[in-house]
Amino acid sequence: MSTPAMRPDASQIYRQYLSAVMLHGHASARACDLGATDLYALNILQLAGAMTPGELGARTGLTTGPTTRLIDRLERAGYVRRAADPGDRRKVIVEPVSSPADLDRVMAPARQKIGEILGGYSPEQLDALFDYFARAAEAYREAAEQLRTEGSADS
């Protein structure tokens, strides 16, 4: 199977895009008085719903101690709560309960600009773009899991 010819600067453009997304995430977190990992963890909880601290740690790439401190910070700030797992009361789950009040305001300029960019694409182009986002997200999750697995095997 052949792949379409890539432009010679594709890798550089993609890396610049990823760097800009990460920079914006860090700046957004700071603007909401959060650390980048805290905002990332909140996003994970809001997208996936309640989960155990172990699951949250795996999804953020944190070990047990840092995950506990992360949950403590988010709980003190009123963004999450620990609750008994309804399926097994011996377990604790972490539930999202709110978002930073300023998050929508902080994200609005980027959302506006991205919306304007997306408005220039046809419905077919948007379908392809969002298909890419969904498939690339899964590919990155799988690659991260592989790196974690290889890292723990090396230890």
Confidence of residue 1 (pLDDT cuts 50, 70, 90): very low
Are the CB atoms for 83 and 50 separated by under 8 Å?
yes
Query: Right CATH number for 19-102 from 1.10.10.10, 1.20.140.10, 3.40.50.300, 1.10.760.10?
Result: 1.10.10.10
The average confidence (pLDDT) of the chain is: 92
Distance, in Å, from the CA atom of 132 to the CA atom of 88, rounded to the nearest integer, reads: 37
Which tens digit of pLDDT belongs to each residue from 74-111? 999 999 999 998 888 889 999 999 999 899 999 999 99
The angle, 0 to 180 degrees and rounded to 10, between the axes of the packed helices 103-118 and 10-31 is 150
Where do the structural domains in the chain lie, given as residue ranges? 19-102
Q: What pLDDT shows up at residue 2?
A: 52
Q: Output the pTM of the full model.
A: 0.84
Distance, in Å, from the CA atom of 38 to the CA atom of 93, rounded to the nearest integer, reads: 17
φ/ψ of residue 42, rounded to 5 = -60, -40
